[in-house]
């Protein structure tokens, strides 16, 4: 049975902030990270509490990995990064969630992990968040239409 945990910050904030939600499936919710030092940085979070990928059933693993891949493809098509970082950690927040981090040769930490040292944060204006989310949602809709039709 899929449940949320009261003592898990991620479980209690799945849909927050609501204005940053990009996409939601039966298995996952994708939200833009409020910190946009790396443009397009997105979380893909499991909608129930689990701490390890191996604790999911094979079908839930496939759906969760599929959702992450769909979002990664969307970010790649919409934003054209030079590289994509995929992180599934759980050290600080033990709840399954992907960090999809588009990387650009122009980013302030190119060639280094995003977790290295004390890095600055970057917040966008409300309009800039809305514009980026709209671009990702539009690309996602086109990507899903293409994927479902089986042609490019």
Residue 95 belongs to domain with CATH number: 3.30.428.10
Number of domains composing the chain: 1
Can you give the pLDDT at residue 62? 98
Containing domain of residue 93, as a range? 9-104+119-149
> Residue 124 falls within a domain, yes or no?
yes
Both tokens assigned to 72: 């990664």
Give the distance from CA 116 to its chain's centroid: 20
Residue 114 in domain:
no
Q: What is the pLDDT of residue 152?
A: 42
81 domain-assigned: yes
Query: Could you tell me if residue 80 is left (phi over 0), alpha (psi between -120 and 50 degrees) or otherwise beta?
Result: left
Note whether residue 3 is domain-resident.
no
In a domain, 109, yes or no: no
In a domain, 4, yes or no: no
pTM beyond 0.85: the answer is yes
Strands (E) located in 42-103: 42-46, 83-87, 97-103
Q: How far apart are CA 126 and CA 19, in angstroms?
A: 9
Block residue for tokens 């940053």: 20
User: Along the chain (152 residues), what's the average pLDDT of each consecutive run of 10 residues?
Assistant: 90 93 96 94 97 97 98 97 96 94 93 80 93 97 66 42
Element (H, E) at 83: strand 83-87
Residue 36 in any domain: the answer is yes
Contact predicate 123/36, CB 8 Å: yes
């Amino acid at each position: 049975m899929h449940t949320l945990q009261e003592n898990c910050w991620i479980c209690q904030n799945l849909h927050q902030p609501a204005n940053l939600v990009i996409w939601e499936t039966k298995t996952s919710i994708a939200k833009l990270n409020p910190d946009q030092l790396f443009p397009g940085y997105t979380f893909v979070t499991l909608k129930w509490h689990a701490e390890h990928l191996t604790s999911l059933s094979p079908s839930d693993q496939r759906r969760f990995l599929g959702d992450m891949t769909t979002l990664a493809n969307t970010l790649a098509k919409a934003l054209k990064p030079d590289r994509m970082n995929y992180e599934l950690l759980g050290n600080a927040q033990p709840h399954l969630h992907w960090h999809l981090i588009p990387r650009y040769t122009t980013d302030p930490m190119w060639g280094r992990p995003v977790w290295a040292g004390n890095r600055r944060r970057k917040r966008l204006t409300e309009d800039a968040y809305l514009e980026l989310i709209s671009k990702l949602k539009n690309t996602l809709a086109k990507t899903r239409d293409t994927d479902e039709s089986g042609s490019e």
